[in-house]
Amino acid sequence: MSNDNKNLKLIKEDLNKRNKEIDCIYKVDEILKKFDNPIEEIFKLLLKIIPQAWRFPEICKIRINYNSLIVSDENLVETDLKQIAPISTEDQAVGEIQLYYIKTVKSEKGIFSIEEQKLLNTIAEKIGNFILYKKLRKSITKIDKEKKLNFEEQNTSEKLLNWLKSLKLSNDEISQFTRIKINFRKNETICKQGAIASYIMILEEGLTKNFLEGNHDKGVNFKIVKPFDFIGLSSMFGDKRYHFSGSTLVASKIFLIDAEVFLNTIKNNYEFAKIVMNWYCSTINDHLQRLSCIANKQALGRIAEILIYLTNDVFENSTIDQSISRKDIAELAGMSTESAVRILSELKNDKIIKITKSGIEITNPKLLNSISLAG
């Protein structure tokens, strides 16, 4: 073979090696873009890619160590024919890539080339950057979540303060009303029918329901309470007991106002007393309207009325959140859960509502309103 042919062959071999290296780097980069995937899954993908860039890929096996995590080819055998590259993040070693030829290799030019070691170092560096970026993403997500929660909490507190001011309460009265705040979990009881009413409550955040307890786990929901609203005003006078029970539909934050503090505020603040009386009368009117619905409408009309109430008065949009169960809807309508489910299914089949993971979406409010009016 002439020197020219030899040189040409060497150039082709070198180009093939560089192409394999470039292809390997490209594939490694594609794998390391999957930041949401578990690290172990990423390492397993790398085990299949890395050997393809080496001179003898069929006997090339990989092990990747990261802290206590070890991901390795099943048939890896530790031999003296190995290359190692450290994995570091923020100048600290956190692991390494170990590459082994599991069988003896005869080669005039040496077992491993300088370029192969450089490639392994480059891959190790990329893995280190991936791990660091994954950590940073987790930290940033946590910080963003905390900021969002703080912002929402501040925003809610500001809205509550403005609402209390709209009730003509002084700063001192507001301070007394917001002294005690309790966090309730989902489905937790906030007041019990027949219990002594020591507090009036203000719902700051969440969603609750007021209901009359009945026999055999049967009751009647008469109100879904949303922020900002009072709970327990009917217990201020008379026997001073709660005449209904209340529980949370979602995790909720509630202020407890001592009953005597609330009564003194009504006595000493005429404007507040007038607003509370208007609110109380409006609430009674709503209860009477719902009672009339239960007494005078057929089952279909009752369900339609309740769906309109939930969308218009509670959620103020076309979707009823999944926090409202079928049982809640049934009790608001004064019927069995089975009957409510059957009617909801009929409304779904008629394309008046759509049931999704988010809840119940009203798709034909005009027809639903007509059904409610017809009774």
User: What is the residue type of 319?
Assistant: T
Residue range 177-186, pLDDT digits in tens:
989 999 999 9
Q: What domain range is 76 assigned to?
A: 3-137
Q: Which of 93, 118, 137 is the last residue of a domain?
A: 137
Q: What pLDDT, on the 0 to 100 scale, is given for residue 30?
A: 92
- CATH number of the domain within which 46 lies: 3.30.450.40
Per the domain annotation, does 201 fall within a domain?
yes
To which residue do tokens 């009730």 refer? Answer: 167
Per the domain annotation, does 261 fall within a domain?
yes
CA distances from 285 to 292, 305, 310, 346 (A): 10, 15, 16, 30
Taking residues 3-19, report their average pLDDT.
65
Whether 86 and 180 share a structural domain: no
Is the confidence at residue 142, as pLDDT, over 90? no
Q: What pLDDT, on the 0 to 100 scale, is given for residue 162?
A: 87
Whether 202 and 130 share a structural domain: no
Residue range 315-373, pLDDT digits in tens:
888 899 889 999 999 888 888 889 999 999 999 999 999 988 888 999 998 998 898 88
Whether 69 and 26 share a structural domain: yes
Contact present, 162 and 169 (Cβ < 8 Å): no
Whether 232 and 98 share a structural domain: no
SS3 (DSSP) at 189: strand
Taking residues 29-36, report their average pLDDT.
89
Contact present, 163 and 156 (Cβ < 8 Å): no
Exposed/middle/buried for residue 219 (C-beta within 10 Å: 0-12, 13-18, 19+): middle
Count of structural domains, the chain: 2
Give the HSE-up count for residue 194: Cα atoms under 13 Å, Cβ half-sphere: 3
Residue range 66-122, pLDDT digits in tens:
998 999 998 899 998 999 999 998 888 999 999 999 988 876 567 888 889 999 999
Whether 181 and 310 share a structural domain: yes
Longest dimension (CA), the chain: 115
- CATH number of the domain within which 256 lies: 2.60.120.10
